[in-house]
Every structure is written in C-alpha cells, then in structure tokens.
Amino acid sequence: MAEPRETGPSGRAQDGEFARIAAILAGLPPGEGVVVGPGDDAAVLRPREGRDIVATTDTFVEGRHFRRDLLTPIEAGVRLAAASLSDLAAMAAEPRWALLSLVAPASWSGADCESLERACARALFDEGAAVVGGNLSSGDGPLVASVTLLGDVERGRAWTRSGARPGDLLVVTGCPGSAAAFIAAALWGNPPSRARAPRELDARVVSPPCRVRFARALAASGGVHAAIDVSDGLAADLAHLCVAGGVGARVEEAALPVDPPLAAAVRAITGLAGQERGPLPAGEGALITRLQLGASDDYELLFALEPAQWEECARVAAQTGTPVARIGAVTDGDALVLASRGGGEGPLDAPGWDHFRDRG
Amino acid sequence: MAEPRETGPSGRAQDGEFARIAAILAGLPPGEGVVVGPGDDAAVLRPREGRDIVATTDTFVEGRHFRRDLLTPIEAGVRLAAASLSDLAAMAAEPRWALLSLVAPASWSGADCESLERACARALFDEGAAVVGGNLSSGDGPLVASVTLLGDVERGRAWTRSGARPGDLLVVTGCPGSAAAFIAAALWGNPPSRARAPRELDARVVSPPCRVRFARALAASGGVHAAIDVSDGLAADLAHLCVAGGVGARVEEAALPVDPPLAAAVRAITGLAGQERGPLPAGEGALITRLQLGASDDYELLFALEPAQWEECARVAAQTGTPVARIGAVTDGDALVLASRGGGEGPLDAPGWDHFRDRG
C-alpha cells in the first residue's frame, strides 16, 4: 500500500495526475463508442454488435526497449504505439480504445513524459484508437511506459498464429531487420549516434509504418491461415508461428527483402559508406541475413497464405502501399530450413528477443 | 527499439517468457468468453450482448505502492488485483478478463515474480476475471507490476463519479483509513514491522475484501447516483466525486466508521497498546480522523445514495457481508464541510495521494 504523503505548501494542483492526463489528451477528439472516457474509476466502452474484442498490452522500459540517447520522447511514444498497433494488425483487428500507463522517474521532466504520452496517444488516434484511461506513477529507476490496446474484429474472424498449412506461402511486409540495422549502425561508434544510420532507415524505424489497413483489407479477401507480427525477429517469430501450427518452414535466403535503406545501413556498418548504391558485395551477405533473421523489432507482419491468394495479396499490398515479399513456404514436419543463396541448406536459426533467457 | 541480444550457451528455454506465462496461469481454468487466450499476439474476447465493456489499468511500483519489507510477493499480487477489482466495483461492473504486465529487476528472483503474478491472477480469477494476456520484461530499478482489467455491465448502467444530488446520503463500505493505519503502525519503529499492526487490520489490508458482489447487487436495486472507490483517501475521493457532480458535501466526523481493528491500530500507534478495548480516549480523535480522511488506499466504495434506498442498501450490505456507514450528505454548492465531534464545523481537507504533486 502507498505510504501517506502530504502535499507541500505550494499545492501545485496543475502538476497533479488529473491535470497531466488532461494535457496528454488535449486536442484529441473523444473516440467512438466511448460511453465514459478518462477521469472516472474505469472507462465504459460500447462494443459493436457482431464483433469480438481484441486486447494486447505492451511495455517499453527505458534502456531496454529504447535508448534515450537514440530516440526522443516523442519517437519513443510513437514506437510504443506501433508495437501495440502491430499486435492488432497481426490479428486483423481494428484499433478502437487504449489505456496508457507511465512510471516516470525524476530523471524525466514532466514535459518529456507528456511528449511521450501525447505522441503515443496521437499515433494511436491516427489509427482509430482513442485513449480512454491510464495511470501515472512516479518511481525510481528507468521510465516504464505501457499501452493496453483494445480493438475489434468480425466475430470468429481474428487471425491467429496457428493454422498454417504445408504448401502455404510465407509472406512478410516491409523489410525485417531494419530496426536491428538501425541499432547496429548507431552503436557502431562511441558515442552512439543515429546519424550513422541512413536517413530513410531512420525514418522507418522511428516511425514504423502501420500494417492495420493492409491486414484489414487482406482479411476481407481471405486466404491468410496464420499471422504473427515481427517484433522478436523474423526467425524467432517464424518459429512461434510454426510451433503454433505444428508445421515446418523453408525460407529462401535470396528472397528475404533488402531495400535501399537496409542495404545502405549494411554498407554503413561495414565501413562501405559512400559507395554507390547497387547490389551488395557478396561478403555482406552473412551480415545482412543475420540482421534480417535475427532479433529486430520491426512491427511488420509475417503470414502463411493460401498460394492461390498471392495475386490478391499483391493487389491489396499495392492498394495500401505495403511492400510484401514471398520468402518461402510452410512445410510438413517441424524443421525450419534456410535455403542459402549459394544453393546449400541449413537450419534457420537466429535468436529472438527473450527477456528472461539470460536470467538465473 | 530493443538492442539485439544473443542467448547464452545455456539456452535455458524453461526460463523464457512463454514458459513463465504458462507457469503463472498453471492450474487456472480458461475464462468464459475467451476465444483466443494467452500466447498469441493479442487475446480475442467475446462480449456479451447488451453489455458495455468496462476497462481500468493499475500499476504498482515497488517502494511506492508497496514496500517489500512489509508485503510478501504474494500479498503484493493480491493487493494489485484488489486495486483493479475495486475500480470495477465502483462502476458496478462484473470482472471478466485481465492482462498482467511485469517489469522485473534482477533483485527479484524468478520465483518471487511468479508468486506475485500467480497470486494476482488467482485473486482476479476468484472474482470472475481470467488472465488472457500480458507482458514480461526485465529492467533495472524497482519492480513494476500492472493489471489491465476488463469487465462488463448492463448497457448504460455503469455507475460513474458524476450524478450525486443534493440530499443524497454519503455511504462508505468498510473502514477507510485502515491501510494508512497499517502503514503508520508498521513504520512507527525501526526497522519497519507489520507485527506492530493489529492482526485483524493486517489481514484486511493485505487482502482487501472485494466489493464487486455488493456493488452488483446494489446496482440491481437502484438508488446509487454516483460512486467512486477509496484509493486516494476518503477526503480526496469525496472531493473527486463532488467536483464531478458539481455538488458539495457535509461529513459527520462522529459517523466515520471505526471498528475494533482500526481502533487497536490507533492505540498501537499512540503507545496505548495493551489497553483494553473500548471507546478511544478523546485525545485519539484527531489522529483517527486524520487516518480516516487522509491518504489511504483501502479499496472501499464511497457512493451517493437516494435516501429512500438506505434500507435496501443495508439489506444488500447484510446479505453480502459488507459493512456500510452513512457518513454524511451531499449538499448544494461546492463546499466540503466536516461537522466535528465537538459540534463545530470546518473545511474537510485532507490530502490524497497524488504522484506528481511534489515534483517540479
């Protein structure tokens, strides 16, 4: 239980929890289906008939999920929103409401905390989710920011991780590995600096594109048997999808998407900065594959698609401005195989991001 | 974004995030209306027809909302559940689903973290809410545990803070000030020890009674115009209720409930321990009023009741084993008045628990 604490003689009510919540939401219109919004003991929300509720929660810990020397408070807030929106995209759900929580240490000014929360609230709002409640605490230690995001989806139509079938195409959106490449480039020298990451990559990583509209449109056309968001890393998230479906996968190394910003980041990391754009020299292959498959929180989608639906998927992708790539296929059994550029085959094995693996 | 980190050669998969979530939920049956439970990108939940969704989020920060030298991990988990259940009781809502998040520092063993989360999940489950998702992170600093609790209520029937009418009775459940008295008794000497708090008070504070069933039964009989839970402290929460309703209040000091455990705590604090039970000496009055009105997270209910409904309220209270007390009345205007035992009147003014008041 909380220890009683008195208010100082200054009585700065404007610094109080209620005033701060109001400041975070200033300028944002109330959401749809909000019967009681922030400021009561709980929010009251009116679900739409014929829909299931989809709920996810994400937490960002300073120094762990973001570095303050690499991201501004606004950017951290935007990425936190992206993390939770990505979970809803992976369920083909529509974002509706959110609750934001912050544990703010003294090392963060009130203005910086507010910037983070406001940016998060705005990014959620832009995708259809209104902030309807939350929590503000002080605390020693790193800043901890959390979002619980609620959405909805046509009853019984949510995508899940399970359901992939042998023969399905494996499709990813965007360019997984981008977040890892950004971090690698930024940490390449001392002090860390994101100026070493290519500018287009920087823009994509600090403000990840939202895949909700793509997922909603693709869900309407059908053919997705299983989906997951790429937040641990492509190999780790593919492993989750295969375990959930009781299937294996074969990924073609040459089919993993590399766009110019990711290629430029690899050049920056390997000291090839300044060279003209073009195919990467062969020696860069190992590094780029490691970035593409390894731990990287890209907030892209990975899904198993009925092969006959590929053209429709490509149409939806074009319509929504979403890069998509077929990277392999679902297989019988449980093996995860990487077919390398050179023609050989080997186990697909790159560690994901598991917070407790290293703890005793 | 997360920095990529490799798994050590030990590869302790059993310590991984997924295994930990499974351990937390082991032994708890799946909840009703859960289409997709933990383990996917998000949970999928089926709302009941004709109901609104009620959502609240609460965060406990070690050293701030609980002291590790006073509460066991299990007790901290139970109190966290109580904090969120109390918010739903204040809306007359029925708990249904919950998401749990933990930021665990190295100073907490995996077993202690699991104890806290399991106790929280069990306490929520006992009141009808199934854990359907969550998040586990490591982090330096204090342990941070959060619950987002979702419930439902008959459409348009949620209680809110606003709506109190002049002439309404002000009613509280239980004995507000108990949590403050527990802390005061425990911190009375060095080192802090809850052994100085009376045993019955200890039991009530570490495992607060849940007011959901009382609230649900009372909502069915009608007459509650506004409600709030006592989590900041009685005076502060009454002020919130009055501001929301545009009304004032007059509280009778003599009507504030004091039961034997609270009276015993006051004796312990003032060095009267060992004296026989009975009315407190006059000199204790100021302290007890301060405990009753000041910052104290008791998870009790405060509500404005149509006077004609008092007998029905008392009947529901008796039926559900809920102590209730009429402590005053709602008034015109915006003054908060305390009518003292001695016969005088003065402003009702005791600070609540505002996390940001003290910060620059």
Residue B292 clears pLDDT 80, i.e. is over it: yes
Q: Which of A53, A154, A328 is nearest to B33 (CA)?
A: A53
Task: Kindly list the strands in the beta sheet with B144-154, ordered across the sheet, starting from the edge strand earlier in the chain.
Answer: A34-36, A43-45, B51-61, B144-154, B94-104, B130-138
Decide: A209 and A127 in contact? Cβ < 8 Å: no
User: Looking at chain B, which residue has its C-alpha nearest residue A208?
Assistant: B1
Q: What is the mean pLDDT of the segment spanning A91-111?
A: 96
Note the pLDDT of residue A1: 54
Residue B223 clears pLDDT 50, i.e. is over it: yes
Inter-axis angle of helices B73-89 and B199-206, nearest 10: 70
Mean pLDDT in chain A?
89
Distance from CA of A275 to the nearest CA of B (A): 27
pLDDT tier, B118 (very low <50, low <70, confident <90, very high otherwise): very high
From B52, B59, B183, residue closest to A3, measured CB to CB: B183
**Cβ-based neighbours of A268, under 8 Å, separated by 6 or more:** A185, A188, A196, A197, A198
> Which domains, ranges and CATH numbers included, belong to chain B?
44-154 (3.30.1330.10), 169-347 (3.90.650.10)
Q: What is the mean pLDDT of the segment spanning A236-258?
A: 96
Note the pLDDT of residue A17: 65
- What share of chain B in percent tops pLDDT 90? 75
Decide: A45 and B87 in contact? Cβ < 8 Å: no
Distance from CA of B148 to the nearest CA of A (A): 7
Residue with the two structure tokens 């023969």: A167
Size of interface A-B (CB pairs under 8 A): 323
Distance from CA of B304 to the nearest CA of A (A): 15
From B5, B42, B227, residue closest to A88, measured CB to CB: B42
Give A91's contacts in chain B (Cβ within 8 Å): 36, 40-42, 44
Q: What is the mean pLDDT of the segment spanning A36-49?
A: 95
Note the pLDDT of residue B243: 95
Residue B20 clears pLDDT 50, i.e. is over it: yes
Across chain B, which distance is largest between two alpha carbons, in Å?
74
Across chain A, which distance is largest between two alpha carbons, in Å?
75
Can you give the pTM of this predicted structure?
0.91
3-state helix, strand, coil in chain A (%, to 5): 35, 25, 40
- A4–B97: do the CB atoms touch at under 8 Å? no
Residue B1 clears pLDDT 90, i.e. is over it: no
Residue B2 clears pLDDT 80, i.e. is over it: no
Note the pLDDT of residue B98: 97
Distance from CA of A3 to the nearest CA of B (A): 7
Taking the C-alpha atoms of residue B38 and residue B78, their distance in angstroms, rounded to an integer, is 21
Give B105's contacts in chain A (Cβ within 8 Å): 141
- B7–A52: do the CB atoms touch at under 8 Å? no
Q: What is the mean pLDDT of the segment spanning B95-102?
A: 97
Q: Which amino acid is at B252?
A: E
**Cβ-based neighbours of B85, under 8 Å, separated by 6 or more:** B95, B123, B124, B127, B129, B149, B210, B212, B299
Q: What is the mean pLDDT of the segment spanning B38-65?
A: 96
pLDDT digits (tens, 9 = 90+) for A176-212: 999 999 999 988 777 889 998 999 999 999 999 999 9
pLDDT digits (tens, 9 = 90+) for B161-197: 999 999 999 999 999 999 999 999 988 777 889 998 9
Note the pLDDT of residue A303: 98
DSSP per-residue codes, B34-65? EEE-TTSSSEEE-PPTTEEEEEEEEEEEBTTT
DSSP B342: T
- A42–B228: do the CB atoms touch at under 8 Å? no
pLDDT tier, A6 (very low <50, low <70, confident <90, very high otherwise): very low
Taking the C-alpha atoms of residue A121 and residue A81, their distance in angstroms, rounded to an integer, is 8
Taking the C-alpha atoms of residue A136 and residue B24, their distance in angstroms, rounded to an integer, is 26
Decide: A93 and A122 in contact? Cβ < 8 Å: no
Taking the C-alpha atoms of residue B4 and residue A181, their distance in angstroms, rounded to an integer, is 10
Mutation to test the B interface, candidates A1, A88, A108, A152, most B Cβ within 10 Å = A1
- A141–B139: do the CB atoms touch at under 8 Å? yes
Give B46's contacts in chain A (Cβ within 8 Å): 52-53, 155
Note the pLDDT of residue B282: 56
From A51, A54, A101, residue closest to B42, measured CB to CB: A54
- B138–A353: do the CB atoms touch at under 8 Å? no
Distance from CA of B277 to the nearest CA of A (A): 26
Note the pLDDT of residue B274: 46
Give B146's contacts in chain A (Cβ within 8 Å): 57, 59, 101, 135, 146
Model ipTM value: 0.91
User: Looking at chain B, which residue has its C-alpha nearest residue A113?
Assistant: B356
Give A146's contacts in chain B (Cβ within 8 Å): 57, 59, 101, 135, 146
Decide: B84 and B125 in contact? Cβ < 8 Å: no
- A59–B137: do the CB atoms touch at under 8 Å? yes
Taking the C-alpha atoms of residue B35 and residue A159, their distance in angstroms, rounded to an integer, is 11
Q: What is the mean pLDDT of the segment spanning A71-80?
A: 98
**Cβ-based neighbours of B79, under 8 Å, separated by 6 or more:** A1, B60, B66, B71, B206, B207, B208
From B39, B45, B57, residue closest to A99, measured CB to CB: B57
- A55–B87: do the CB atoms touch at under 8 Å? no
DSSP A149: E
Q: Which two tokens stand for residue B315?
A: 């009947």
Note the pLDDT of residue B30: 83
Taking the C-alpha atoms of residue B26 and residue B123, their distance in angstroms, rounded to an integer, is 14
Distance from CA of A360 to the nearest CA of B (A): 8
Q: What is the mean pLDDT of the segment spanning B253-265?
A: 94
From A41, A153, A227, residue closest to B229, measured CB to CB: A41
Tell me how long chain B is.
Answer: 360
Q: What is the mean pLDDT of the segment spanning A138-154?
A: 96
Give B79's contacts in chain A (Cβ within 8 Å): 1
Give A179's contacts in chain B (Cβ within 8 Å): 1-2
From A17, A47, A160, residue closest to B36, measured CB to CB: A160
Neighbouring C-alpha atoms within 13 Å toward the C-beta of B245: 32
Q: What is the mean pLDDT of the segment spanning A63-82?
A: 96
Give A135's contacts in chain B (Cβ within 8 Å): 57-59, 146
Neighbouring C-alpha atoms within 13 Å toward the C-beta of A349: 6
Decide: A158 and A52 in contact? Cβ < 8 Å: yes
The alpha-carbon radius of gyration of chain B (Å, integer) is 22
Sign of CA dihedral B102, B105, B106, B108: negative
- A136–B355: do the CB atoms touch at under 8 Å? yes
- A294–B4: do the CB atoms touch at under 8 Å? yes
Sign of CA dihedral B165, B168, B174, B179: positive
From A16, A52, A179, residue closest to B45, measured CB to CB: A52
Note the pLDDT of residue A25: 85
Decide: A244 and A303 in contact? Cβ < 8 Å: no
- A359–B15: do the CB atoms touch at under 8 Å? yes
Q: Which of A248, A283, A243 is nearest to A267 (CA)?
A: A283
Distance from CA of A80 to the nearest CA of B (A): 9
- B356–A5: do the CB atoms touch at under 8 Å? no
From A91, A228, A295, residue closest to B4, measured CB to CB: A295
Q: Which amino acid is at B343?
A: G
Q: Which two tokens stand for residue A307?
A: 């092969």
Note the pLDDT of residue B299: 98
Mutation to test the A interface, candidates B1, B94, B240, most A Cβ within 10 Å = B1
The alpha-carbon radius of gyration of chain A (Å, integer) is 22
Sign of CA dihedral A169, A172, A175, A181: negative
From A2, A16, A205, residue closest to B295, measured CB to CB: A2
- What share of chain A in percent tops pLDDT 70? 88
SS3 label, residue B132: strand
**Cβ-based neighbours of B333, under 8 Å, separated by 6 or more:** B247, B248
Give A58's contacts in chain B (Cβ within 8 Å): 135
- B355–A137: do the CB atoms touch at under 8 Å? yes
DSSP per-residue codes, A28-70? PPPPTTEEE-TTSSSEEE-PPTTEEEEEEEEEEEBTTTB-TTT
Give A133's contacts in chain B (Cβ within 8 Å): 55-57
pLDDT digits (tens, 9 = 90+) for A298-316: 999 999 999 999 999 999 9
Q: Which two tokens stand for residue A63?
A: 């120094």
Taking the C-alpha atoms of residue A39 and residue A139, their distance in angstroms, rounded to an integer, is 22
Decide: B171 and B238 in contact? Cβ < 8 Å: no
Note the pLDDT of residue A4: 40
Cα distance from N-terminal residue to C-terminal residue, chain B: 29
